[in-house]
Homo-oligomer: A and B are copies of this chain.
Amino acid sequence: MNNKQFFSVPYIENNILEQLLEEQGEIGYYDLPSVNIDNIKNFSKSIKKNNIVIVGIGGSSLGTKAVYDFLRYSNKQEKKLHFCESTDPVLLNSTFKDLDLEDTLFLIISKSGSTIETVSIFKYILTKVELTRENFVIISDKGSPLESLAIDKDLPYFEIPQNVGGRFSVLSTVGLVPLAIIGVDIQKLLDGAQKIKDSFFNKGESFTEIVTKASFYAKNVSKYNINCLFSYSESLRSFNDWYIQLWGESLGKRQRHSYLNVGLTPIGLIGPTDQHSFLQLIVEGTRDKSVTFIKVKDFDVHMQIPDISIPHLEKLDFINDTDFSSLINKQADSIIESLANKGDIPLDIIEIDAINEQTIGELFFYYELLTSTVAKMLDINAYDQPGVEDGKKILRGYFD
């Protein structure tokens, strides 16, 4: 991947690299790209069932879904992945109606081990499926109630490192176990992340790109408080959702050393579809949005617009003989050019080489490092989410 930027901010280094190096160890996601994954690969080979259900919400599912949907249209995965996240009865009912339970493995994924949505659905599943090591896998923190259950009932168990937060956990057991089972090359995923990590910490290209962009975002936190990610590939739809969680939950906080609430608001867009929706607001709305475009260099699938003239539509014949991959990238370029012409909309372009495990691994680590860097610059703790505790307490009270 490469990231072309149009920011006018001067390049600001101060001691950001030292600050990020300092939090390593305490913050675990930095170490994930080089973890040994032999045990996960071996375990995944032993799974013969064809339906894999992830019972987990938020950080326990968004990263896995991002990879699954990224690769789904191109590579045919060996097994089918389902997601049970919501307590919505209509969706739950519909999910279970068509599921062959004999041929299904359930992955119960929860960092704390006591997420209310996950446990509710787990209980419901237990009315239909026996709690055995053939039917269930547990992925949770060491010392959590779910780990104790796994030990008690001899269920396969994978540990989530204590110092890896939910939204930074896609490259831990949380994402790697389900993805390995369905046949994703998880080593390539880690290789992509490692590449960005090395470049960043060796002050290579990724360092310059990330720190320049983070500086601009941090300095303009009040003026450009909305950061759009405009991905020109349907395969990136769930990656956008992963970005929204990472960005919103990490950067919407009170500052560490003030009483101020600050925050950067993430928006996920898909091109060209959202040219017909959100684009007008970017072009003519309030100047409060930055836009990052993601483009795919080589879509691998080649389909041509045929050399056909449709009566009365002859004036559109200029698109004949164009490859769809060329058309979609030209569409991206035309929107980038039209926004750049405005002169006051901060833009940058990320280009990935292709749709594969390596490139989404790169994207994950690029965005995780960008998030950590912006958080440091804004004096924010990127790794907690104290704001969501109140709602949980209030909910508990309703049951007394």
Contact = CB atoms under 8 A, between A and B. Distances in A.
B391 A275 contact: yes
A393 to B, nearest CB: 8
A126 B316 CA distance: 15
A316 B249 CA distance: 25
Interface string A85-102: 111111111100000000
A5 interface: no
A35 interface: no
B287 A261 contact: yes
A20 interface: no
Query: How many copies altogether?
Result: 2
Interface in A161-189: 166
Given A341-B390, A395-B334, A249 B89 contact: no
Interface string A363-395: 000000000000000000000011110111011
Contacts of A28: none
Contacts of A124: 303, 305-306, 324
A308 B90 contact: no
Interface string A110-126: 00011011011011101
B286 A261 contact: yes
A398 B316 contact: no
Given A279-B391, A310-B122, A323 B89 contact: yes
B119 A90 contact: no
Contacts of A303: 89, 92-93, 124
A1 interface: no
Given A86-B328, A117-B272, A276-B388, 20 more contacts: A73-B90, A85-B273, A87-B324, A88-B232, A88-B233, A89-B303, A90-B234, A90-B299, A120-B319, A120-B327, A123-B306, A145-B312, A145-B313, A249-B277, A251-B285, A252-B286, A275-B391, A283-B390, A330-B395, A334-B394
The 7 closest A-B CB pairs, nearest first, are A263-B285, A58-B276, A252-B281, A252-B285, A283-B387, A334-B395, A245-B277
Interface of A: 57-59, 62, 73-74, 85-94, 113-114, 116-117, 119-120, 122-124, 126-127, 145-146, 148-149, 152-153, 166, 222, 225-226, 232-235, 241, 244-245, 248-249, 251-254, 261-265, 267, 270, 272-273, 275-289, 299-303, 305-306, 308, 310-313, 315-316, 318-320, 322-325, 327-328, 330-331, 333-335, 337-338, 341, 355, 385-388, 390-392, 394-396, 398-399
18 contacts: A57-B272, A88-B233, A89-B324, A93-B301, A114-B313, A119-B313, A120-B305, A120-B322, A122-B310, A248-B278, A252-B280, A253-B285, A265-B281, A279-B388, A279-B391, A284-B387, A331-B391, A334-B392
